[in-house]
Homo-oligomer: A and B are copies of this chain.
């Protein structure tokens, strides 16, 4: 078994930190009992451990392949995708009206981690399909929803997001794909889209492309972009497939990682125009796409956690098995498994603490998302929504950046073997590097965090978050326990660093926008670090409480120690970022462009 889904840790976080225990009392969430959650996670773990995880390496050595407009998925992926969708996993959190299970995002988020850890390339196909479903749920007509969503949930069709063009990546205002209105109310699309994940493949009968394009005469910039459905095969009135649409895959990319996930260049309209159907209203496409993108950003953050945990598990196995050198404390007279060496343990604990901290951050945010939609109290709903929105750039930005560190440590623990591809550690390192880039680079997340999430409300939400952290510090201090107290002090120091930076951001955003944005990514890292460390501190409290109820297990011991380690080794990084942000922009802004 190369992957063990962290069912116990996910359930612990869901119940103790993310509000799973209350959720089933909310209207529409009646099915989301702790028992159901456990059953769902266990079943999800089984499928991913047994069926999907073994295909991860296969996908690296036999990537999806392209020939004459056709893409063939990695051998085994078709069958795995059939099992995945037959098990109902594609519809897990989508409405039952369209064939979904209607479970909350909290349960879905945990399951998403498992499939991404099992096989990131594979998991991208359902992740993009989820995004297409969300966009249609938000803005599609009833007829569009009824036509397109059920087959996607069944896995007969899949979905894609078509945003990027060669000249338009982070900057979607530069999109040029054009849409010409037709007499029958449809449009004809013309243009080239690149970096289209699972944009062409042979795992499903049809592919529902959601495409950003400009209607002739639309305003310049982002306010002139509309969203279109452009299916690979046109759909007839009875739902059966009709003619092949004029959208062609002209190539797929040769990438450093996630090689099994085909990244397509799609050509629309070379044969007279690809038939597209407007979603919602003209010129509001970006707004709709943002709904989808926010879900996808959360999803990519979870990918970071997933890849990190897989890398951690692999490194732990190796550290138990590999025998090399005597322990420095003289406790053994012979060479020992390397997990006995302090630096190997430091690396493993760093990997573990970062993964667990980010998992807790993501699941708590997912719980807040559910509360924002279903909690009976309007004030809780509003606060939960504000909290969730603050979290999205942290989950996307921080969890993916931490996955780079964790997968790098994963290779390092293996020594020279880590650099040999067959060992498997290198794949995680290569796969992870896309996560800080797609669905908005870390800088794009940081812009969102600074502009929309921090400065716009004068730092109110950021300070509300800090107040919650301070409340946890008070709980820790009240425990009168050495470990809890130590964590409280580390947390307080990190919170003060956070607040100093928030004050700087809010105060200087108008007068020194360049200095503020020069600090945006360090601010994102600082905030993500604080929130993940805060959740670990909450986990320590919950684990100590459970242990005091007599639930003494290795799991609880490890949770407390991992929280302490996070506080000791990871939280203190905030000081460096604070120093860099506050007063650290001058030199970088003064540098003449030609001097670089």
Q: Which residues of A contact B (CB under 8 A)?
A: 164, 167, 169-171, 173-174, 195, 253-257, 316, 319-320, 323-325, 327-330, 335, 339-346, 348-349, 352, 404, 408, 411-412, 415-416, 418-422, 426, 429-430, 433-434, 436-438, 441-443, 446-447, 483, 490, 513-515, 517-518, 520-522, 554-555, 557-558, 561-562, 564-565, 568-569, 572-576, 578-580, 583-596
Smallest Cβ distance from A302 to chain B, in angstroms? Answer: 19
Q: Assess whether A557 is in contact with B518, with CB atoms less than 8 Å apart.
A: no
> Residue of B at shortest CB range from A512?
B329
Cα(A83)–Cα(B217), bound, Å: 61
Cα(A333)–Cα(B416), bound, Å: 51
Q: Which residues of B contact A588 (CB under 8 A)?
A: 342, 345-346, 349, 561, 565, 569
Complex partner residue of A434 from B320, B419, B583, CB under 8 angstroms: B419
Complex partner residue of A575 from B404, B555, B572, B584, CB under 8 angstroms: B572
Q: Assess whether B590 is in contact with A561, with CB atoms less than 8 Å apart.
A: yes
Q: Which residues of B contact A572 (CB under 8 A)?
A: 575-576, 578-580
Q: Assess whether A584 is in contact with B596, with CB atoms less than 8 Å apart.
A: no
Q: Assess whether A586 is in contact with B564, with CB atoms less than 8 Å apart.
A: yes
Q: Which residues of B contact A167 (CB under 8 A)?
A: 323
Cα(A531)–Cα(B191), bound, Å: 53
9 A-B pairs closest in CB distance: A572-B579, A568-B584, A564-B587, A342-B518, A558-B595, A256-B426, A343-B443, A565-B587, A573-B576
Q: Which residues of B contact A561 (CB under 8 A)?
A: 587-588, 590-591, 595
Q: Which residues of B contact A436 (CB under 8 A)?
A: 412
Cα(A544)–Cα(B579), bound, Å: 24
With A341-B517, A412-B436, A520-B343 known to touch, is A254 a contact of B422 (CB < 8 Å)? yes
Q: Assess whether B324 is in contact with A517, with CB atoms less than 8 Å apart.
A: no
Q: Which residues of B contact A522 (CB under 8 A)?
A: 346
Residue of A442, A446, A593 with most partner-chain B CB within 10 A: A593
Q: Assess whether B169 is in contact with A346, with CB atoms less than 8 Å apart.
A: no
Q: Which residues of B contact A585 (CB under 8 A)?
A: 342
Q: Which residues of B contact A408 (CB under 8 A)?
A: 404, 433
Q: Which residues of B contact A574 (CB under 8 A)?
A: 576
Residue of A344, A430, A555 with most partner-chain B CB within 10 A: A430
Cα(A346)–Cα(B591), bound, Å: 11
Cα(A565)–Cα(B434), bound, Å: 28
Q: Which residues of B contact A573 (CB under 8 A)?
A: 573, 576
Q: Assess whether A518 is in contact with B343, with CB atoms less than 8 Å apart.
A: yes
With A421-B256, A437-B412, A441-B415 known to touch, is A593 a contact of B517 (CB < 8 Å)? no
Q: Assess whether B575 is in contact with A446, with CB atoms less than 8 Å apart.
A: no
Complex partner residue of A443 from B327, B344, B426, B442, CB under 8 angstroms: B344
Q: Assess whether A419 is in contact with B255, with CB atoms less than 8 Å apart.
A: yes
Smallest Cβ distance from A324 to chain B, in angstroms? Answer: 4
